[in-house]
Structure 1
């Protein structure tokens, strides 16, 4: 017990208590927060929820960075990514299994996440990191693997249903092979990323690379992931538990505030799709903060592992989950995107491939991604 408490601080306990208390208070206040909510109460509730989420987010970032230092990449980034994405997938699945029609929830959620991660978060990270470090070298083999996965998964998710589906949805005969291919491809990707190709997702240190080329002395073998897990098992399990327990209230609060956001945006005359974008931004807030901090520290491969890895996991898990739920329940799962959104997704993928084809990414690359996100917001309001 004493060894566990070494890794738990008072601030960790306060953040966890605050997050779960806020979620409990929100459940108790549900009758008061049923639309239409008085404007002062609506503003107070939204500000309070966002404040709690921000406090909890920094706790998640703290644990994620500690795990990343202990485990190294890609394992450290993968822990944070899968923790958030799996909870998100479970919540989307729960919404589909609940009352009401939710035919486009997966499409709208993943579209918002795609634009936020590939353009807003990566754009900010590259802009700020590029300004501080002038240029950042990344591991092009691993980055290429992420982008190859995204091209195929996004095409299967949003492009193909528009061409061969019925009213934008796969038929059962089409959905079964799509689920099998998606899960098999994602599983193989994780297997290679955590195994034989783990080195393709690690940071590039140009000085160490040059030294390795010019030196004839053998390098000391770095400890493998199994050795690290065995030696630091208590710390890793404790921090992983703290991360999960802190991140769950963030996701629960962000989804519970959906009705409040819909109510507020409707009064302002804003598009309803904007609520999905704001919720997606809040859900992935811990990952976004971690990515920007990594970029400022010159760790661009960690930015890529967090951002591209999160989107690969989101598409690779969400789409099969909703299709599997849709088949036995008879629910329509509309995945085909509109033409403007398909164009934006295509341009985003082409821009990402162009950006990370360079040996070094710069602030200019980040600025272009941010410009594309600005265009996305224009389309949202059109």
Structure 2
């Protein structure tokens, strides 16, 4: 088992496969673990001894010759050869319905929900004054939109794997940003004018991601290990763009209030939009080009990171399903706007409530992936997810909302005030300190979570 060549284990993420991997690892074998799910491989990698020479390859389709050949080629390149194969799964299709089709059950749920609210709209919204019925309707719509958003992100991730950079990153970013813009626009254009909704949503996204998501990821990731590592240059590149964009979008308008209040004038909106899109486009060009290495872990220990093998011939399927899941989102976020408006306008909930709901819908799909990656000791992936999410939110959502404002005549207020302004500046400062060394530990996660708790408390103090 201690010779140079490796042992391939298929289905390594399953019960039998993971048991085989652990047994071989205890014997000192070099391992190549194949599995369809990257999350299962990440969890398995976190359980193996640190000395294990381990390569995981996610996305391998045993029914596709090209996918298997690509996986074996990577194994040979990494270890110089393969000495044994342990096959713990079957390499055949079971029945007429493939696994991809079985994964799309939620599309039926979202379509059925859309039809229900299209046909019985007045009956369903007619009893919002009943607290129990309001809770049922709100939870139903929120779960339907969130589930559809998770499905959109899943298919965007598949396309990203197949098309590579820069198209993969662009598709994933545009999919998430489109959901955010649709959600904010639906609530902003429904009911009474809420000029602070876009600002509240942006601020909530920043707080949820840079404090809640970062804090939880660092805390859980460091729970079983003293510290974790990430690429310092990549984090600096993200923060180097996030800080000026956040300042120009959420801080500067507070000090440039004109005769009409804090609503930015058309020339200032144009300048802000050009700056945001220009900086984000420049960053994306550098991320996908000459500075791609900044966004990968530069330590040798990450030979254990999952490499995904693209499944050939499925690009069109994932593209169709992505748009199929986005269709109900467009309709359902408009329906979700009604209970949100009701709780703000009728029950006099904090005006920031709508922004928090929209931010949760946007941040949750990426938060799940970031926390899983950190637990599996792949902090670099977490850093790319949460800092990239904040950057795309500010760099793309702000210009989009300014365009919506001009088209529909709904003014927007971007500048933060009072405690919110202090929380933003404090969060940016702490984030710079957290990622300044390339190493993180449990205490830093606890600090970010305390800041998130302070943000939640401030919502109800306004």
Name the TM-score class by shorter chain. 0.7 to 0.9
Normalised to the residue count of structure 2, the TM-score between the two structures is: 0.68
TM-score after normalising by structure 1? 0.81
SS state at 1:132 partner: coil
Alpha-carbon distance between aligned partners in 1 of 2:219 and 2:196, rounded to the nearest angstrom: 33
Alpha-carbon separation, structure 2, partners of 1:268 and 1:130: 42
Greater fraction helix: 1
Name the SS of the counterpart of 2:314 in structure 1.
Answer: helix
What displacement does 1:319 show? 1.6
Q: Verify: 1:199 aligned to 2:293, yes or no.
A: yes
Asked which structure has the greater RCO (Cα within 8 Å, sep 6+), the reply is: 1
Would you say 1:371 and 2:445 are equivalent positions? no
Contact 2:182 2:333 in 1 (8 A): no
Give the CA deviation at 1:305: 1.6
- 1:89 equivalent to 2:168? Answer no
Q: 2:249 aligns with which of 147, 152, 157?
A: 157
Instruction: Please give the alpha-carbon distance, in whole angstroms, between the structure 1 residues aligned to 2:105 and 2:188.
Output: 33
Structure 1 residue 152, shift from structure 2 partner: 0.8
Question: Which position in structure 1 is the counterpart of 2:20?
Answer: none
Distance (Å, rounded) in 2 between the aligned partners of 1:68 and 1:7: 21
Match of 1:180 among 274, 282, 286: 274
Which residue number corresponds to residue 414 of structure 2? 335
Matched, 1:108 2:200: yes
Matches of 1:311 and 1:131, distance apart in 2: 25
Higher strand share: 2
Whole-angstrom distance in 2 between the partners of 1:192 and 1:45? 45
- SS of the aligned residue for 2:222 comes to helix
Question: Corresponding residue for 2:394?
Answer: 315
| Aligned: 1:171 with 2:265 | yes
Q: Is the 8 A contact 1:141 1:200 kept in 2?
A: yes
User: Is 1:26 aligned with 2:117?
Assistant: yes
Shift of 1:147: 0.8
Distance 1:335 1:249 in 2: 29
8 Å CA contact retained: 2:211, 2:452: yes
- Point out the more displaced range, 176-185 or 259-268: 259-268
Counterpart mapping for 1:10-159 below 5 A = 10-32=101-123, 33-34=125-126, 36-52=128-144, 56=148, 59=151, 63=155, 79-93=171-185, 100-159=192-251
Find the counterpart in structure 2 of residue 349 from structure 1. Answer: 428
Aligned positions, number = 362
Contact conserved, 2:106 with 2:148, CA < 8 A, in 1?
Answer: yes
Partner SS for 1:271: coil
CA apart distance, 1:232: 5.2
Post-superposition offset of 1:358:
2.1
Q: Which has the larger radius of gyration?
A: 2
CA distance in 2 between counterparts of 1:154 and 1:35 reads: 40
Structure 2 residue runs without a partner (length 5+): 1-62, 65-95
Quote the offset at 1:342 in angstroms: 0.8
Query: How far apart, in 2, do the equivalents of 1:328 and 1:57 lie?
Result: 26
When residues 308 and 245 of structure 1 are mapped into structure 2, their CA distance, relative to the original with a 3 A threshold, is: farther
Change beyond 3 A, Cα 1:133–1:64? farther
Task: Go from structure 1 to structure 2 and tell me whether the alpha carbon gap of 1:51 and 1:324 turns closer, same or farther (over 3 Å shift).
Answer: closer
Higher mean C-alpha deviation, range 119-128 or range 329-338: 329-338
Moved more, 72-81 or 278-287: 72-81
Provide the rounded CA distance (Å) in 1 between the counterparts of 2:150 and 2:181.
22
Contact 1:73 1:202 in 2 (8 A): no
Q: Are the aligned partners of 1:126 and 1:365 in contact in 2 as well (CA < 8 Å)?
A: yes
The structure-2 alpha-carbon separation of the partners of 1:117 and 1:24, relative to structure 1 and needing over 3 Å to count, comes to farther
CA distance in 2, matches of 1:282, 1:21: 20
Which range moves more in the overlay, 27-36 or 290-299? 27-36
CA contact (8 A) 1:74 1:198 kept: no
Which deviates more, 126-135 or 154-163? 126-135
Measured against aligned partners, the alpha-carbon deviations of 1:352-373 in whole angstroms (never above 9, x if no partner) come to 1111112211222111111000
Q: Does the CA contact (< 8 Å) of 2:156 and 2:175 recur in 1? A: no
Retained in 1: the 8 A contact 2:221–2:377?
yes
Gaps of 5+ in 1: 210-222
Cα separation, 2, equivalents of 1:7 and 1:140? 42
Distance 1:354 1:235 in 2: 43
Q: CA deviation at 1:306?
A: 1.5
Contact 1:73 / 1:302 at 8 angstroms: preserved in 2? no
The answer on whether the counterparts of 1:46 and 1:257 sit within 8 Å (CA) in structure 2 is yes
CA–CA separation in structure 1 for the residues paired with 2:157 and 2:459:
34
Q: C-alpha distance in 2, partners of 1:6/1:340?
A: 54
Q: State the distance in 2 between where 1:316 and 1:363 align.
A: 30
